[in-house]
Amino acid sequence: MKKNLIVGQSGGPSVAINATLAGVIAAAQQEERIGSIYGSRHGIEGVLYDRLIDLTDFRDLEKLKATPAMALGSCRCKLPDDLEAPIYQTIDAVLKQYNIGYFLYIGGNDSMDTVSKLSRFYQGKADAPIMMGLPKTIDNDLAGTDHTPGYGSAAKYLAVTMNELIRDTAIYAVKSVTIVEVMGRHAGWLTLAAALPKLLGGQKPDIIAIPEVPFSESDFINQVREKMKTTDNIVIAVSEGIRNEKGEYVGSSAKSGAIDNFGHAYLSGVGKHLELLVRNEIGCKVRSIELNLMQRCSSHLGSLTDVEESFSIGKFGVRAALAGETGRMVAVKRETNEPYSVSMHTVEIADVANLEQLVPNKWFDLEDKEIQQEICRYILPLIQGDIPRFQNDYGLNEYVIF
C-alpha cells in the first residue's frame, strides 16, 4: 500500500535549505511507493495546526533550488520532553489522517531534537512513520557530519564581503578600527570564513575572535594598540558569541536574560560593545558592522557546491527512508579534497540532537601557516561555483513562493 510523505523546514534560513526541499520532492516524485507529497508550513507547527500543502505535482525544482530562505516557512517550536504530552497525540492524529509513512525534517541542532523526540515517541509502535532528519545550518555546528548545507554559501558571502570591507577601509591614512560582527553562538566556523582573506595569505582581518577561545578585553585593547604601530586601518572579525574567561557573553545585549524556546540567549551587539571599548580606551576613529541577516540568505553570492550537495542530501534522505532507515539523519563524509568529493550515509539521530561540532582546538592558533592552510583546505571546496539566477526584465532575482 502506498504511503504519503511529509517534509518540513525549521530553525534559521539559509541559501541552500530549499535545495534540500527540492531534492526531497524530486526523489519522492520518482518513487511508486510514495503517494502524495505534502509540505508542512512552518515546520512541525504545520502538522499541529493542519497547515499542509500538496507538493505532489510541483515541477519548478530548479527555481526552488535557487530560492533562498525557507519556501515552506519555519518555526522554533520545542516539543516537550514528556512523550506522554497531548501534543504528540495531536501530531500522530494528523499524520494518520494524511496516511503519512515518511516524515522528513530539514534543520539544525534544534530541528534534530524534534526528529529525535518523534522517533522515540513512535519507537515500537505498529505502522509507525519513518523519521528522517536532513541537516541544515549556516553555523556548521551540527555533529556527525563533515559540514552542513548552508554553511558553504554563508562562508562565501562572508569571505567576499570581508574582502570588500578590507578594500574600503584601506583608502584613508587615518588611524581607524572596523569591527565586523559575525553570527556564531558557540562555534566560530563562520568567523573563520570571514577570516579567509588573511588565511589565504593576506594581512587582514588583523584580529579574529571566535567563541571557542576565551576573550579578554584588556588583551584585545593591547592587540589593537600594537597593530596600530604598523598599520593605519585595523579590521577585526568577531563572533557574536565570544565569551570571557568566566564563560560570560561579551557585550551588554547578551546579558539581558532573554532566551528562545530552546533556551538559547538572544545575541547581538558585541560589535557595538567593542566599538565603544576602543573609542573609550584608544579614542581613534572606530565603527562596528553587524552583518546580521545578510549572511544567511544572500543567494547572489551563494555556492553552487553547497546547493547541489543540499539537493543530493534531500534525494538521499528519501532513498534512506524508503529503505526503512528511521530515527536517523543524513550525514556528509568528505572523501577527497583534490578533487573534492563526498559520500553520504546516515547516523543515529540521538548522536546528533542537541550536540555541537565546534572548531577544533588545533585550529586556535590562526597565525600558524600550517593551520591557515588546513582551514583553507576545509572551507574552500565548499564555496565553489555560482548559483544560476532566475531574473525578471529588471535584473532582479525571482523566487518560488508557495
The string of pLDDT tens digits covering residues 341-392 is: 999 999 999 999 989 999 999 999 999 999 999 999 999 999 999 999 999 9
109 labelled ligand-binding: yes
* Set of cell numbers at residue 174: 587615518
Residue found under cell 550515509: 345
**What's the rounded mean pLDDT across residues 305-333?**
98
Q: Is 139 annotated as a binding residue?
A: yes
Answer whether residue 258 shows pLDDT above 90: no
According to DSSP, residue 349 is labeled: G
Q: Where are the domains of the chain?
A: 3-149+299-356, 151-296
Q: Given 92, 113, 139, 206, which residue is catalytic?
A: 139
Backbone angle region of 140, left / alpha / beta, with phi > 0 → left and psi within -120 to 50 → alpha: left
Beta strands 3-9; 52-54: pairing state: unpaired
Q: Is the pTM of this model over 0.75?
A: yes
184 is in an annotated binding site: yes
Judge contact between 55 and 38, C-beta under 8 A: yes
Give the model's pLDDT for residue 382: 98
pLDDT value at position 17?
98
Contact 342, 334 (CB under 8 A): yes
Q: Are domains 3-149+299-356 and 151-296 of this chain identical in fold?
A: yes
Q: Cα–Cα distance between 380 and 371 in angstroms, integer?
A: 14
pLDDT at 262 over 70: no
Please determine, for residue 208, whether its predicted confidence score (pLDDT) is greater than 90: yes
Q: Report whether 343 contacts 335 (CB < 8 A).
A: yes
Q: Is the dihedral of CA 10, 297, 352, 127 positive or negative?
A: positive
* Unique residue bearing C-alpha cell 535584473: 395
- Is residue 2 exposed (0-12), middle (13-18) or buried (19+ Cβ within 10 Å)? exposed
1: pLDDT confidence band, cut at 50, 70 and 90? confident
First to last CA, the chain: 29
Domain range 3-149+299-356, CATH architecture: 3-Layer(aba) Sandwich (3.40)
Q: What would the grid cell of residue 389 be?
A: 539566477
Read off the pLDDT of residues 112-152 as tens digits, 9 standing for 90 and up.
999 999 999 999 999 999 999 999 999 999 999 999 999 99
| DSSP structure string for 258-326 | -B-TTSPBP---HHHHHHHHHHHHT-SEEEEEE-TTHHHH-GGG-BHHHHHHHHHHHHHHHHHHHTT--
Residue 351 bears catalytic tag: no
Q: Which residue is it, cell 574552500?
A: 380
Q: What is the pLDDT of residues 23-71, one digit of tens each?
A: 999 999 999 999 999 999 999 999 999 999 999 999 999 999 999 999 9
- Split at pLDDT 50, 70, 90, the class of 306 is very high
CATH superfamily of 151-296: Phosphofructokinase domain (3.40.50.460)
CA distances (Å), origin 369, targets 3, 50, 204, 334, 387: 54, 54, 14, 23, 32
Q: What is the separation of C-alpha 297 from the centre of its chain, rounded to a whole number of angstroms?
A: 10
**Residues above pLDDT 70, as percent of the chain:** 96
130 pairs with which residues across the strands? 102
